[in-house]
Amino acid sequence: MTLHITETLRVTPAADSDSVLNSANSFSLPLTFFDLPWLLFHPVKRVFFYKLKDSTREYFNSIILPKLKLSLSLVLSSYLPLTGHITWNINEPKPSIVVGPNDDVLVTIAESEADFSNLSGYGQRHLSELHALLPKLPVTNDSATAFSVQITLFPNQGFSIGVAAHHAVLDGKTSSTFIKTWAHVCKQQLENIPENLVPSFDRSLIKDPTGLDDKMIDMVRSLKQDKTKVVLSLTPFPAKELGDDVVLETLVLSKDDVERLKERVKNVSPSLHLSTFVIAYAYTWTCYVKARGGDVDRSVSLLFVGDFRKRLEPKLPATYFGNCMFPVGCYNRKAAEFMDEKGFVTAVEILSDLVKGLTSRKIETIADSFVEGFDYQSWSTQFGTIAGSTRLGVYEADFGWGRPVKVDIVSIDQGEAISMAERRDETGGVEIGMCLKKSEMDMVVSYFNISLQN
């Protein structure tokens, strides 16, 4: 796919008399033990597609782009950490997000003649074409950029907004809230963010009575084999090399599909937690394991993270800015457990127990939970994780030209991750993104569709 970069610009936060930042100082936000495990991960990259046949170059440059830039500037005045960098002052015990008075967000403007309908569809798409719609997020040993944007015009077809975010700065909840806030301000042409959308930066709400910060930093050093014990290099883990045969595809479960799958397991146990998340993950996971095939005794593991904002004491504000996720997983199971006729039921039982167990998890065990997950990831033959959620409302991001026709999390290519989102046009359905070699993807899709028909 040919892509033309037409402009690179810096968007600064709009002047705000109430801002915590002024020309004489910097704003610093320390990372918490919820943020630190993600310090060396690759950026989370997501692309939003907007279909608009009236998107001529003239209309794009005179109407769409100015509105997007102005609203982004306005929203950044309340989301200052997104303009900053993660740094680690040698005199500080841990890294922080530091924002200087001249910091901004890099925005890349591009144009593509590619087939918009194909790129924004649900079928197989080559990763290179999707990555072309996403911005870079510069990282060095001592500084990691927090956030960047790329806006790509497809003349007379539509446009896309690609975002790259450092995972140690924000989780899916915070990222989605920011995008929806930006869209709301743009569509309504507001000058100020509504009070209920203003982010909370109060780190005092995150209590660390047992030295979790130090444990997390030690864990990250161990993963990177860093023995210096002074300041940790912020460069991420080596990127996974992907062949030209790797594709991204989105599978769909309708509301009726979800209900039918629930019926398959309702008689097993009346106490099972049969949420849409559990059903969708369990069904996709069993298709995934079957498609991989191989030795039935091979070790497989699965993991997901639960939002802990409402599980802490005191509860965090809904607009808390940052990560607040607790990992739970099921490790070292035999592939055979998910490949036989009861495989789907087995996966549902496992995930149901993990979800119900979240309410009783003690925050003091979070370091052990991350360590356990990373350990098994290094040697399990298949390790499934989830990116996104059906509760984030990504299709609500209407900038004034309609809701996105498609949203993709492209960064699932760096692991055996599955992305999950609500269906665009149906309440109760699920969109499931997968990134695999084409041959394996064809097998997953085959199992996925045949099992639904049966």
Q: In whole angstroms, what is the distance from residue 174 CA to residue 440 CA?
A: 33
Domain boundaries, the chain: 3-224, 246-453
Positive/negative CA dihedral, 405, 410, 413, 414: negative
**167 catalytic, yes or no?**
yes
Task: For residue 420, give the 3-state DSSP assignment.
Answer: strand
Q: What is the pTM of this model?
A: 0.96
pLDDT for position 15: 82
**For 191-203, what is the mean pLDDT?**
92
214: Cβ contacts below 8 Å, ≥ 6 apart: 93
Whole-number percent of the chain with pLDDT over 90: 80
CA distance 72 to 11: 7
Say what the pLDDT of residue 21 is: 53
Indicate if the pLDDT at residue 372 is higher than 60.
yes
Same fold, 3-224 and 246-453: yes
- Does residue 267 surpass a pLDDT of 60? yes
Q: Provide DSSP, 306-370.
A: EE-TTTSSSPPPTTB-S--EEEEEEEEEETHHHHSTTHHHHHHHHHHHHHHHGGG--GGGHHHHH
Q: Residue 23: what pLDDT?
A: 45
Mean pLDDT, the chain, rounded, equals: 93
Confidence of residue 416 (pLDDT cuts 50, 70, 90): confident
* DSSP category for residue 270: T
User: Looking at residue 449, what is its pLDDT?
Assistant: 94
Distance separating alpha carbons of residues 408 and 47, to the nearest angstrom: 5
Mean per-residue pLDDT for 326-348? 95
Token readout for 61 is 């440059």
CA 240 from chain centre, in angstroms, equals 17
CB 125, CB 248: distance < 8 Å: yes
pLDDT in tens, 137-185: 999 999 999 999 999 999 999 999 999 999 999 999 999 999 999 999 9
Q: Looking at 42, 85, 167, 184, which residue is catalytic? A: 167
The per-residue pLDDT for 17 is 44
Check if 398 is active-site.
Answer: yes
In the predicted model, what is the mean pLDDT of residues 224-235?
81
SS3 149: strand
Lowest mean pLDDT among 176-180, 225-229, 266-270, 448-452: 225-229
Fold (CATH) for 246-453: Chloramphenicol Acetyltransferase (3.30.559)
Q: What is the mean pLDDT of residues 379-397?
A: 94
pLDDT digits (tens, 9 = 90+) for 302-313: 999 999 999 898
Q: Does domain 3-224 have CATH number 3.30.559.10?
A: yes
